[in-house]
Amino acid sequence: MSTNRRDFIKFVVAGAVAAGCPINLTALPADAKTEVDGEHNEICHQVRDGHTFTRPASSANYDVVIVGGGVSGMTAAYLLRDKHFLLLEKEPHWGGNSYLEEFNGTPYATGGAFLELGGNAAEFSKSLGLEQLPIANWDGMILNGKFVSDCWGDNIDKLPYPQSVRDGFVKFRDEVLKMDVMGRAKELDLLPLTHFTKGYPQELTEWWDNYGPSNWGAKAAETSAMIALWEVQNIGAKTRKDDRVTLPGGIGALNRRLSEVLTEKHKEQLQLSATIVAVTQQKNGVDVTYVVNGELRTVTAKAVIMATPKFITARIVEGMPSAQKDAIKKMHYIPYAVVNLIYDKPVFNSGYDTWCPGGNRFTDFIVADWTVRKQAGYKQKYNILSCYTPMEADERGYLLTENGSKMIAEQVLTDFKKLLPETNVDPIEVHIYRRGHPMYKSLPGNFTKVQPLTRVPMERIAFANTDSEGPVSSTGEGIKAAHRAVEEVNKVLAG
């Protein structure tokens, strides 16, 4: 990229991160324009670092206080709309890990991408008036300058590898298709995927090292075999139908709708930019202390739903049983950036989600307007490509600063340009949305041994958030967790 061209590329940095480590600044463009947005982790970091906040006397009473305004917390609020609830969210917007943004009217995702047709999340969308559109396109891959569509299905024997490696992929798929993965789920959940890739070409493990972190936060050696083998049976099945659905902007479209529906009738019960610092169970209620507009406030609820990720929940909720705290300590979360490359001309429209193994900074990229681009009368104004960029825990510090984030964005762009001759063009803008701990790793045993312990309700406190359920972080599991938590608090309210 020429220096002049860089002047025109705007890096927009948004989101929240945590923790810090040194940053190599040498790869940074000195002259890139930068806009910084978001970053609301200061108070959470103070909680992490053991700061004690004063607790003002309670100033209001509620039936239920819900902490966290991602899909799980918002779903809980929606289910409790006949109750006197209060929903609190630390960011200045709703949506958590699935937050939709727009570029000149074209929506794009900064996180969650698609849902499963007929699954609880798609059905919930439908009930809110959002009919999700079919993707109908099995994932492809790009390697060695070659794009192959439907890489685990029709074109598995055309993968851009030597013949012996292709044979290894086919054999692995066929062996996995014969397995009773569901029947052996408990046993398979305790084993890493690499237990089953032994003896196959190294490229197979590398493929899963690329696919896993984007989908469930973990490379092959750390992935529960149950999850990956299950996935092979889905993407590699001999007879199959792509049952994924989405809207432009991904799952953020659902979260936006949900926030609109809640705001319509319950505006006074919704509070953004409110960071909870303490949740204390008392004899007849729960005190919730939070910081809003620089002030500490305490409210009291008959019951509380914690829809925040567990590593935060464990720090905020006082008196949590040690078995629960120990289980939460076993959960690990990765940093994750989504880099949106915005083009004012078509660059890549050949597949919805394309995997890019082979050491690129990102794992895969998604065409933002895939589901509408073939509709009559639709004209693609911008070709927005969302590059999914899961990162290692020790790289988290890069996302903590504007320069570190820009460096990641530039690495993504550099690698993207090398993929194919047609991708070697300059975008008009590059946006990076960074998150410090958005996705938990689906480690062996996480689903069967750890998560059940993390969600045990305390007397008046129930635990939602996708990380309560499993086996992977997903919108559907966040919604499921909300239903369970609402059931639990309804029992408390019923006395």
Ligand X SMILES: Cc1cc2nc3c(=O)[nH]c(=O)nc-3n(C[C@H](O)[C@H](O)[C@H](O)COP(=O)(O)OP(=O)(O)OC[C@H]3O[C@@H](n4cnc5c(N)ncnc54)[C@H](O)[C@@H]3O)c2cc1C
What residue type is assigned to position 450 of the chain?
V
Segment interacting with ligand X, rule: CB under 6 A, options 90-98, 145-153, 355-363, 452-460: 90-98
Spatial neighbors of 277 by CB under 8 A, at least 6 apart, are 43, 46, 47, 53, 289, 290, 291, 296, 316
The angle at the Cα of 61, spanning 55 to 63, to the nearest 5 degrees, equals 120
Residue from the set 17, 193, 276, 286 that interacts with ligand X by CB under 6 A = 276
State whether residue 297 is helix, strand or coil.
Answer: strand
Q: How does 366-394 read in b/e, with b if 16+ C-beta sit within 10 Å?
A: bbbbbbeeeeeeeebebbbbbbbbbbebe
Candidate list 71, 193, 356, 412; residue touching ligand X; CB under 6 A: 71
How is residue 51 written in tokens? 């700061």
Instruction: Decide: is 72 part of the binding site for ligand X (CB under 6 A).
Output: yes
Q: What are the two backbone dihedrals, phi and then psi, of residue 160, each rounded to the nearest 5 degrees?
A: -75, 55
Determine phi and psi for 117, rounding to 5 degrees. -55, 130
Cβ neighbours for 410, distance < 8 A, ≥ 6 positions apart = 27, 28, 29, 32, 430
What residues contact residue 221 under an 8 Å CB cut-off, 6+ apart? 192, 193, 194
Among the listed ranges 2-10, 30-38, 105-113, 219-227, the one in contact with ligand X (CB under 6 A) is: 105-113
Stretch that binds ligand X, among 6-14, 87-95, 229-237, 377-385 (CB under 6 A): 87-95
| Contact residue for ligand X among 111, 249, 252, 335 (CB under 6 A) | 111
Nearer to ligand X, 251 or 328 (CB): 251
At its nearest, how many Å lie between ligand X and the CB of residue 383?
Answer: 20
Helix (H, G, I), strand (E, B) or coil at 271: strand
Sequence-separated (6 or more) residues with CB below 8 Å from residue 22: 397
- Mask 191-230, x = binds ligand X (CB under 6 A)? ----------------------------------------
> What kind and span of H or E run contains 30?
none
Nearer residue to ligand X within complex by CB, 227 or 439 = 439
- Determine the angle formed by the axes of helices 252-266 and 120-127, rounding to 10 degrees: 40
**Cis bond leading into 107, ω under 30°?**
no
- Pick from 455, 478, 486, 492: which binds ligand X (CB under 6 A)? 478
Per-residue contact string for residues 405-444; x = within reach of ligand X by CB under 6 A = ---------------------------------xx-----
Binding-site member from 15, 29, 38, 73 for ligand X (CB under 6 A): 73
Of 197 and 215, CB closest to ligand X = 215
The answer to whether 120 contacts ligand X (rule: CB under 6 A) is: no
* Letter string b/e over residues 278-293, b meaning 16 or more CB atoms within 10 A of that residue's CB: bbbbeeebbbbbbbee
- Closer to ligand X at the Cβ: 201 or 478? 478
Total interface residues for ligand X by CB under 6 A? 40
The residue from 98, 405, 448, 454 that contacts ligand X (CB under 6 A) is 98
Check binding of 248 to ligand X (CB under 6 A): no
Given the rule CB under 6 A, which of 156-164, 173-181, 222-230, 475-483 is the region that contacts ligand X? 475-483
Largest CA distance in the chain: 71
Nearer to ligand X, 6 or 55 (CB): 55
Among 15, 32, 85, 89, binds ligand X (CB under 6 A): 89
> Which chain residues interact with ligand X by CB under 6 A?
44, 67-73, 88-91, 96-98, 111-115, 251, 275-276, 307-309, 312, 316, 336, 338, 388, 438-439, 465-466, 473-476, 478
